[in-house]
Amino acid sequence: MVELIDEIRAVADRYPERKSAVIPALRLAQEHYGYLTSEAFREVAAALGTTPAYCRGIASFYDMFELEPAGAHTIEICTNASCALVGAAQVLEAFERELGITAGETTPDGRVTLRSAECLGGCGRGTVVAIDHRYREPVRPEDVPAIVEELRRG
Amino acid sequence: MAKTASPVLVLAGAEAGDLRALEDYRRAGGYASLEQARKLGSERVIAEIKESGIRGRGGAGFPMGQKASFIPAPEKTAKPIYLVVNADESEPGAFKDREIIERVPHRLIEGMQIAALAIQAEACFIYIRGEYLTGSEIFAAALAEAEAAGLVGIPITVHRGAGAYICGEETALLESLEGKRGQPRSKPPFPALVGLYDSPTLINNVETIATVPKIIELGGAAYAKIGVAGSTGTRLFSLSGNVVRGGNYELPHGTTFRELIEDCGGGISEGRKLKAIIPGGSSTPILGADQIDTPMDYASMEKAGSFIGSASVIVIDDRACMVQLALRLTQFYMNESCGKCTPCREGTRWLEMILRKIEEGRASRAELDLLLDVCDRILGNCLCPLGDSNAMIVASYVRHFRAEFEAHVEKGGCPVAATSSLTGVRSPVDELYRGRVGQEAAL
Ligand SMILES: Cc1cc2nc3c(=O)[nH]c(=O)nc-3n(C[C@H](O)[C@H](O)[C@H](O)COP(=O)(O)O)c2cc1C
Ligand code: SF4
Ligand code: FES
């Protein structure tokens, strides 16, 4: 198995300066640990020749880094203007009903984290929903039970 | 204005299906422009781009040829020269760059090679927003195929972002690419002289770069004949909102909103009435329904009181409450403010608090005035256009729909709440700042 540190170093080699690889390195660490733990920050820092505090500062700036444990799956519903105009609120509510949680929460069994999101770049086919960062577009409230069922099984 | 049959340039060849495979792109004439550009050489390529009149498609509309000519010649600088492609596309309403990346990735790669050759760059980077996971995979696969075929003389590195709208601002993008927090730099110096790793850097939008092969193919002069004077060429208009057929439509500049919305988009959905148009992405001032015959070009849009921006047209029908819409967009700017300068960091938060009070029917008339006062204090005082955009659009919503804002104040709530298409809409801000009592006490 390839060690995380070696993976990070290989990515860093693609850039003229090593520090440029902070984002890809944090992404690799997140995939490895599930979320960015203290250990993850220490490893990334060591691989790139910087400090854990620096890496934390970067991670906290970007939305896609998980600083706390998240569900095995993430569901993100775009509620920005174009999607909102075509019923994103109802889609979000349907997910909340089906999962029994409020946006921003994770199901008690740790399977699914539900979030509202800013524009995902599929506005012409709203409402756009990203499941583990793969887009489903458009999603209507009546599509929601099947999607949730699929995640429960998978 | 008489227009000839509309040419398809950026998406040419993809009408029947995506051109992801090299073989398919080649069959559509792909990579012939790169060969042509190699024969022309750096100077003549820049001359063609200048003559084409193409202006940047990322929002600011700066002439590409002029920007490319600011890059010093290699013998005049000790540093390497870089090309950076901005694929951070995160402006609400915009989804055109994703279409280019996913459907004609090779045209983008070819454009990058031509642009890099023109400025004599040593390396290219493409900064793709983190959410475009599928897009980055499609691009990487196309790149691998082009590399294997020996078409990529100037190396390209794919860099994925991690979720931050501000990284679309060119200097924030460079900071992010250098491994820092994505906060804008003060300009000057401009990236053309001091860019990535303090080196001369040309930054262009995906669509701008993907147009370059067609400019070389047609010649700058012929390209300049498409569209209207001052706004040459075609544009990928992203159409969304309350319209029957949303999607990207490549049309010449100067096409009217009516042609886009009615002819391409099939009109307003469910037979509703048009209420307003966001003309160029969420950051552009709103237009009223009576402005539907405005031609979509730089000059006409400015005359109409807005901008063509990223050419992202959001159609709003008569069910939308404009206070809710202003609030939802303000939550976006507040959430995405990088926090570097005070008027934006604090101002967007104030705008959000006041708009929320108005929306919930808890605001006084004085607070409606305060809203515009805060807009005034933000405008012109920010380091980058993000803060200004929020102030500008909020002021435009009040200007166009004043009676609706006043009704919220006078009636103590939304007069159309029961039927508004936006009722109940939430945003990430709601999840991040639950229990807002403390914040509102400041008001
Ligand atoms: C807040 C903000 C976000 C931006 N986002 C993008 C973006 O996602 N893509 C883009 O090409 N330009 C974006 N821009 C514009 C860039 O700063 C820059 O003008 C552009 O990339 C230059 O390329 P062009 O001349 O080809 O348009 C943004 C600007 C601001 C202020
Ligand atoms: S205007 Fe806002 S986003 Fe731009 S630099 Fe200032 S705080 Fe950051
Ligand atoms: S507004 Fe929902 S994807 Fe753009």
Domain extent listing, chain B = 22-225, 234-317, 322-441
| Separation of first and last alpha carbons in chain A | 25
Sort strands B312-317 and B274-278 into parallel, antiparallel or unpaired: antiparallel
Mark yes or no for CB contact A63/B98 under 8 Å. Answer: no
Residue B155 Cβ contacting ligand 2 at under 6 Å: no
Query: pLDDT band at A1, cuts 50/70/90?
Result: low
Spatial neighbors of B345 by CB under 8 A, at least 6 apart, are B337, B339
User: Does the pLDDT value for residue B440 go beyond 90?
Assistant: no
pLDDT per residue as tens digits for the range B140-186: 999 999 999 999 999 999 999 999 999 999 999 999 999 999 999 99
Classify domain B234-317 by CATH number.
Answer: 3.10.20.600
User: Does the pLDDT value for residue B441 go beyond 50?
Assistant: no
Residue-level pLDDT at A2: 72
- Residue A25's nearest CA partner among A54, A3, A5 is A5
Residue-level pLDDT at B415: 81
Q: How many whole angstroms separate alpha carbon B416 and alpha carbon B424?
A: 13
Between CA B84 and CA B95, with CA B90 as vertex, the angle to 5 degrees is 95
Q: Does B181 touch chain A (CB under 8 A)?
A: yes
For B438, the token pair is 């403390």
Query: pLDDT band at A125, cuts 50/70/90?
Result: very high
**pTM listed for this prediction:** 0.96
Q: Does A87 touch chain B (CB under 8 A)?
A: yes
CATH topology of domain B322-441: de novo design (two linked rop proteins) (1.20.1440)
- Distance between Cα B183 and ligand 2 center (Å): 7
DSSP string, B288-356: EGGGTT-B-SHHHHHHTTS--TT-EEEEEETT--HHHHHHHHHHHHHHH--SSSHHHHHHHHHHHHHHH
Q: Which atom of ligand 1 is nearest to the CA of B57?
A: 27
Spatial neighbors of B353 by CB under 8 A, at least 6 apart, are B439, B440, B442, B443
Q: How many whole angstroms separate alpha carbon B272 and alpha carbon B440?
A: 37
Mark yes or no for CB contact A15/B157 under 8 Å. Answer: yes
| Contact predicate A74/A41, CB 8 Å | no
Count CB-CB contacts under 10 A for residue B126.
Answer: 24
Taking the alpha carbons of A37, A40, A44, A45 in that order, is the dihedral positive or negative? Answer: positive
Let me know if A68 is exposed, middle or buried by CB neighbors in 10 A (0-12, 13-18, 19+): exposed
Phi, psi of A77 (to 5 degrees): -110, 120
Residue with tokens 């458009």: A138
Phi, psi of B398 (to 5 degrees): -70, -40
Mean of pLDDT values over B3-24:
87
Least confident of B144-158, B189-203, B232-246, B422-436: B422-436
Residue-level pLDDT at B5: 60
DSSP B178: T
In chain A, residues 3-62 whose CB comes closer than 8 Å to chain B = 14-24, 26-27, 48, 57-58, 61-62
Q: Which atom of ligand 3 is nearest to the CA of A137?
A: 3
Ligand nearest to the CA of B385: 1
For B332, the token pair is 């976006």
DSSP B75: G
Strand partners, B87: B128
Residue count of chain B: 443
- Residue nearest to ligand 1 atom 25, measured at CA: B56
Mean of pLDDT values over A99-112:
95
- Residue B256's nearest CA partner among B284, B225, B282, B287 is B287
Pocket-testing residue among B386, B389, B390, B393, ligand 2, by greatest number of atoms within 8 A of Cβ: B386
Q: How many helices (H) and strands (E) does chain A have?
A: 7, 4
Q: Does B342 touch chain A (CB under 8 A)?
A: no
Taking the alpha carbons of B8, B11, B12, B17 in that order, is the dihedral positive or negative? Answer: negative
3-state helix/strand/coil string of B188-253: CCCCCCCCHHHCCEEEEEHHHHHHHHHHHHHCHHHHHCCEECCEECEEEEEEEECECCCEEEEEEC
Residue B344 Cβ contacting ligand 2 at under 6 Å: yes
User: Does the pLDDT value for residue B434 go beyond 70?
Assistant: no
Spatial neighbors of A117 by CB under 8 A, at least 6 apart, are A76, A77, A78, A79, A80, A130, B428
Mark yes or no for CB contact A118/B248 under 8 Å. Answer: no
Residue-level pLDDT at B2: 41
Phi, psi of B158 (to 5 degrees): -90, 125
pLDDT per residue as tens digits for the range B40-83: 999 999 999 999 999 999 999 999 999 999 999 999 999 999 99
Residue-level pLDDT at B260: 98
| Alpha helices, DSSP H, located in B360-415 | 365-378, 385-400, 402-411
CATH topology of domain B22-225: Rossmann fold (3.40.50)
Integer Rg of chain A from CA: 18
Domains detected in chain A: 2-61 (1.10.10), 73-153 (3.40.30.10)
For B275, the token pair is 């209420």
For A61, the token pair is 């700036």
Query: pLDDT band at B414, cuts 50/70/90?
Result: confident
Q: How many whole angstroms separate alpha carbon A79 and alpha carbon A129?
A: 9
Residue-level pLDDT at B7: 87
Q: Do domains B234-317 and B322-441 have the same CATH topology?
A: no
Residues of chain A found within 8 Å of residue B163, distances taken between Cβ atoms: 62-65
SS3 content of chain B, % helix, strand, coil (to 5): 45, 15, 40
Residue-level pLDDT at B1: 41
pLDDT per residue as tens digits for the range B93-106: 999 999 999 999 99
Least confident of A2-6, A92-96, B324-328: A2-6
For B390, the token pair is 């929020």
Q: Does A130 touch chain B (CB under 8 A)?
A: yes
Residues B303, B306, B311, B312, Cα dihedral to 10°? -140
